[in-house]
Structure 1
Amino acid sequence: MDSLTQIVLGSSVAALAVPASHRRVALVAGGILGTMPDLDVLWFGLAGSDAVTQVTWHRGPSHSLLVLTAAGWLLWLWLKWRSALVGESPRRWLWAIWLALLTHPLLDAFTVYGTQLLWPLPMPPVMWSSIFIIDPVYTLPLLSGVLLAWKLSPGRSDDGPETGRRSRSARRWLVIGLSVSSLYLAWSVAAKYRVDRLAEQSLAVMGLRDAPRFSTPLPLNTLSWRVIAMAPDGYWIGDRSLIADHGRMRFTFRPSDTQALAQLTATATPELRRLLWFTHGFVGVHARQREDGAQRLILSDLRMGLEPDYFFRYDIAGRDAEGRWIAAPEITRLPAPGDRMAGLAWVWRRLMGREARP
């Protein structure tokens, strides 16, 4: 999820875990801890990592529940020694630290990007894909609760009946914000289940019941969805508006040069193998001619973006003199094409049923 969401989620859970007199400090500390796992992007940038490393190692070790549990415990031990505040209520601060850290990767796992929850165990990234990476309906209740809690929370030296009333109000707003956002997340899971069932029924009629597929909400909402099912020579795209659509889902076929990818996979570089592992194989492959006339093979991550303007696109191979595809010495990421505002406008029209279904 985006940084603001992770900050206010970390603030909310940490502030609810500590004593009332510690709440304002916990709001700040939880926000910092809640965004810390994403600092891995700074490391990859400073280290000059290649395109595949930057993408596939983000949400890796820094998002592992195993790593964060150990790191949170070590941080707590240090703070218990150095901070009088943590020393006053060590158990509750341990929970605050753990909750702020661990809710970050768990929430990320609900997106389609993928999160390596159990690194270093050799398993693909978890992608429950029930919520878009930015969703204001999820974020705004948390943000409102944090702002109101900050305003109402008493200082450490405050005392009296009015202070107690304000403290209870601060806690109540935090609970409301966290509850509303959690209910919305639960709704996203239910909506995904509904879309998956509809897709399964329609794909079964097409003879694609067992085809690898995934579903994900379209940007900024959980009412319009996209399902992509893989085929031996391409992939099928289906959209569903839970507001406007009725009846079975309709799918449109898009060809993909799967033979070229299979040829490369036989002698794949570690970078290409890791990219296919990271994407769960949900990729489209198309030949493209550059301005200099060279033929290049472009791999698109089908999980993020709208056809044909996918956010993650990579130059993975070129043709030799005999017309065979030769893996690129280094995989490079291409700029994301397309007009994002036009894409969002299309999503809105599709949601409201003013755009034709595939």
Structure 2
Amino acid sequence: MDSITQVALGSAVGYAALGSKLGRKALLVGAAFGTLPDLDVLIDFGGAVENFVFHRSFSHSLLIQLMLSPLFAWLLLRFQWSKPVSLMRWSVALFAIMSTHALLDAFTVYGTQLLWPLTDYPFGVSSIFIIDPAYSVPLLCAVIALAFIKSPATGQRLNIAVLTLSCGYLAWSVAAKWYIDDKIKAAMTAQNMTYLAYESTPSAFNTLLWRAVATTPSGHYEIYASIFDNPEEVSIAFYPTENTLLDKLSNERRVRLLQQFTKGLYGIYLENNQLIFSDLRMGVEGFYVFSFVIAKQSQQTLEFADFKQLERRPPLSRASKLFERITDPSIKLNFQSDIQPD
């Protein structure tokens, strides 16, 4: 999730665990340790591909967080203001703050390596968008209110209420995903569609309109479905790709990393003699957030490129179309028309 949401969640969890002992200082502790796992973005893992794949690895591992929590607790107890809290309580509280950060990230599609180093599998429920105001705004408002509420009892009641609400929203997102997947697969079955890999994820800022991708050897389907759609109203478009060209490059370590991390949900595009690897899970057709130049074509031969990441953010000017599509299945979401030459 976005940094503001993680700060708000960390503050709320910190207040729930430590507010009775530390008061409003617990909000600051929660904010700090709720942000800590994302500081791995400051590490250069060796290149654009490695930074993409190894983000949310060791710093988001529940096992590493469990081991580090007592150490952090011991260090905090060097300060006088932390003395009202025991070492055990500090350890449990810090683990709760950091682990809820990692677990919330795992509800997004990106992939979070919760059990590193036992496995580097990127867990992803893919039931909530990376920025969702319906989840974040109540948490943020409650944390701001807690900074001014003087009654600890009132503060704890408010905090528990908003944490319960946030958990309820996550539960709703999982139920909505199950409902959408059932609807999309019914639509695909009706059209005799087959696929190699499939994933659905909420469209930007909501859990009412969902985007799914289903890959085939020659391309992929981009699918939009609203909670209010009937199966026959699900929007399905096919886009051809050059995935077969990847066979010539599959022995390269960075190519294998990308294939594994995207769980097979990738597209290969040949543009201006450049072979581009795009993660189909994040973005929309023509505007994938994570796209890398993996090779260059010269006289029918492919040579490895520098794996530079391309900047192709979805156009915000078309965001209103997403919300219109929630209730109007006749809206066509073709963002490719907005592509500008590099």
Same structural fold, with TM-score higher than 0.5 when normalized by the shorter chain: yes
Distance in 2, Cα, partners of 1:83 & 1:276: 50
Is the Cα contact below 8 Å between 1:38 and 1:59 reproduced in 2? Answer: yes
Is the Cα contact below 8 Å between 1:81 and 1:87 reproduced in 2? Answer: no
1:355 CA drift (Å): 1.1
Which range moved further: 3-12 or 77-86? 77-86
Which range moved further: 180-189 or 116-125? 116-125
1:31 equivalent in alignment to 2:42: no
Listed one character per residue, the Cα deviations across residues 57-87 of structure 1 (whole Å, up to 9, x for unaligned) are 1111111111111111211123335445345
1:310 CA drift (Å): 1.1
1:80 equivalent in alignment to 2:77: yes
Listed one character per residue, the Cα deviations across residues 95-125 of structure 1 (whole Å, up to 9, x for unaligned) are 2211111111100000011111111123421
Distance in 2, Cα, partners of 1:224 & 1:28: 35
Aligned to 1:277: 260
Which range moved further: 208-217 or 104-113? 208-217
- TM (norm. structure 1) is 0.87
| Letter in structure 1 aligned against 2:302 | W
**Secondary structure of the structure 2 residue equivalent to 1:113:** coil
Structure 1 gaps of 5+ residues are 154-165, 290-294
| Letter in structure 2 aligned against 1:227 | A
Listed one character per residue, the Cα deviations across residues 11-40 of structure 1 (whole Å, up to 9, x for unaligned) are 111111125241211110011000111011
| Letter in structure 2 aligned against 1:347 | L
1:254 equivalent in alignment to 2:231: no
Is the Cα contact below 8 Å between 2:322 and 2:333 reproduced in 1? Answer: no
Distance 1:169 1:114, change over 3 A: same
Which range moved further: 308-317 or 199-208? 199-208
Aligned residues: 332
Distance in 1, Cα, partners of 2:287 & 2:59: 29
1:150 CA drift (Å): 1.7
Aligned CA RMSD, in angstroms, stands at 1.9
Is the Cα contact below 8 Å between 1:62 and 1:68 reproduced in 2? Answer: yes
1:180 CA drift (Å): 1.2
Aligned to 1:103: 100
1:51 equivalent in alignment to 2:48: yes
Distance in 1, Cα, partners of 2:83 & 2:304: 54
**Structure of greater Rg:** 1
- TM (norm. structure 2) is 0.91
1:232 CA drift (Å): 1.4
Distance in 1, Cα, partners of 2:258 & 2:2: 23
Structure 2 gaps of 5+ residues are 335-342
| Letter in structure 2 aligned against 1:151 | F
Aligned to 1:9: 9
Distance in 2, Cα, partners of 1:300 & 1:258: 11
1:331 equivalent in alignment to 2:314: no
Is the Cα contact below 8 Å between 2:74 and 2:87 reproduced in 1? Answer: no
- The within-5 A match list for 1:1-358 is 1-18=1-18, 20-44=20-44, 49-83=46-80, 85-86=82-83, 88-153=85-150, 166-208=151-193, 211-243=196-228, 245-248=229-232, 249-265=234-250, 268-289=251-272, 295-321=273-299, 323-328=300-305, 330-336=306-312, 340-353=315-328, 355-356=331-332
Listed one character per residue, the Cα deviations across residues 236-285 of structure 1 (whole Å, up to 9, x for unaligned) are 11101113x223334211111121012221xx311111111111121111
1:319 CA drift (Å): 1.5
Distance in 2, Cα, partners of 1:314 & 1:138: 31
Q: Percent identity?
A: 36
Is the Cα contact below 8 Å between 1:143 and 1:177 reproduced in 2? Answer: no
Distance in 1, Cα, partners of 2:122 & 2:184: 23
Distance in 2, Cα, partners of 1:93 & 1:123: 28
Listed one character per residue, the Cα deviations across residues 276-314 of structure 1 (whole Å, up to 9, x for unaligned) are 11111211111111xxxxx11111111111111111111
Distance 1:123 1:210, change over 3 A: farther
